[in-house]
Chain A
Amino acid sequence: MIGYIRLELLRVVRDLTFVLFGIAMPVVMYLIFTNLGLAPGDEREVALYLMVSMAAYGGMGAAFNNGTGLGEDKALGWLRQLRLTPLRPVTVIAGKTVTGMAVVVPAIVAILLAGTLINGVSLSPGRWAAVICLLWAGTVPFTLFGLGNGYRLTGQAAGIANFAAGMALAVVGGLWLPTDRFPGWLKAISDWTPARAYADLARDVAFGQAPTARAALILLGWLAVFGLYAMYGYRRAGERS
Chain B
Amino acid sequence: MSVNAVTLTELTKSFGTVRAVDGLTLDIPQGQTLALLGPNGAGKSTAIGMLLGLSAPDSGTAEVFGGGPQAAVRAGRVGAMTQEGGLIPRVTVRELVGFVAGCYPAPLPVDQVLATARLTGLAGRRADRLSGGQAQRVRFAMALVGDPGLLVLDEPTAALDVEARREFWEGMHHFAARGTTILFSTHYLDEADDHADRIVMISGGRVVADGTAKEIKRVTALTTVSLTVSGETAWLARLPGVSAVEIRGGRARLRSTDSDATVTALAEARAIRDLEVSPADLEDAFVALTAAPLPPTPETSAAR
Taking CB atoms, residues of chain B closer than 8 Å to A15 are 90
* Residue A86 interfacial (CB < 8 Å): yes
The residue on B at minimum CB distance from A238 is B54
- Produce 1/0 per residue, A218-241, CB < 8 A to B: 000000000000000000001101
How many interface residues does A have (CB within 8 Å)?
25
- Known A-B contacts A7-B95, A85-B100, A86-B103; the reply to A77 vs B86 at CB < 8 A is yes
Interface residue range, chain B: 20 to 34
The residue on B at minimum CB distance from A74 is B85
Taking CB atoms, residues of chain A closer than 8 Å to B99 are 3-4, 6-7
Closest 5 CB pairs of A and B: A77-B85, A3-B102, A81-B86, A14-B90, A85-B103
* Residue A11 interfacial (CB < 8 Å): yes
- Produce 1/0 per residue, A51-93, CB < 8 A to B: 0000000000000000000001101111011011111100000
Taking CB atoms, residues of chain A closer than 8 Å to B104 are 85-86
* Residue B285 interfacial (CB < 8 Å): no
* Residue A10 interfacial (CB < 8 Å): yes
Q: Chain A: interface secondary structure?
A: helix
Instruction: Please tell me if the beta carbons of B103 and A7 are within 8 angstroms of each other in the complex.
Output: no
Instruction: Please tell me if the beta carbons of B88 and A11 are within 8 angstroms of each other in the complex.
Output: yes
B151 smallest CB distance to A (angstroms): 11
Taking CB atoms, residues of chain A closer than 8 Å to B56 are 239
Instruction: Please tell me if the beta carbons of B86 and A10 are within 8 angstroms of each other in the complex.
Output: no
* Residue B60 interfacial (CB < 8 Å): no
- Known A-B contacts A3-B102, A83-B54; the reply to A10 vs B91 at CB < 8 A is yes
- Produce 1/0 per residue, A1-36, CB < 8 A to B: 001101100110011000000000000000000000
Taking CB atoms, residues of chain A closer than 8 Å to B90 are 10-11, 14-15
C-alpha spacing A238/B54, complex, angstroms: 6
B109 smallest CB distance to A (angstroms): 16
Instruction: Please tell me if the beta carbons of B91 and A84 are within 8 angstroms of each other in the complex.
Output: no
The number of inter-chain residue pairs (CB within 8 angstroms) is: 77
Instruction: Please tell me if the beta carbons of A84 and B88 are within 8 angstroms of each other in the complex.
Output: no
Q: A11 is contacted by which of B82, B86, B91 (Cβ under 8 Å)?
A: B91
Taking CB atoms, residues of chain B closer than 8 Å to A238 are 54
Instruction: Please tell me if the beta carbons of A88 and B74 are within 8 angstroms of each other in the complex.
Output: yes
C-alpha spacing A73/B89, complex, angstroms: 9
C-alpha spacing A2/B103, complex, angstroms: 10
B73 smallest CB distance to A (angstroms): 6
* Residue B201 interfacial (CB < 8 Å): no
Taking CB atoms, residues of chain A closer than 8 Å to B34 are none
Taking CB atoms, residues of chain A closer than 8 Å to B91 are 7, 10-11
Taking CB atoms, residues of chain B closer than 8 Å to A77 are 82, 84-87
Q: A86 is contacted by which of B54, B84, B95, B105 (Cβ under 8 Å)?
A: B105
Q: Which of A72, A73, A77 has most B Cβ within 10 Å?
A: A77
Taking CB atoms, residues of chain B closer than 8 Å to A84 are 52, 54, 73, 78-80, 82
Q: B85 is contacted by which of A3, A78, A85, A87 (Cβ under 8 Å)?
A: A78
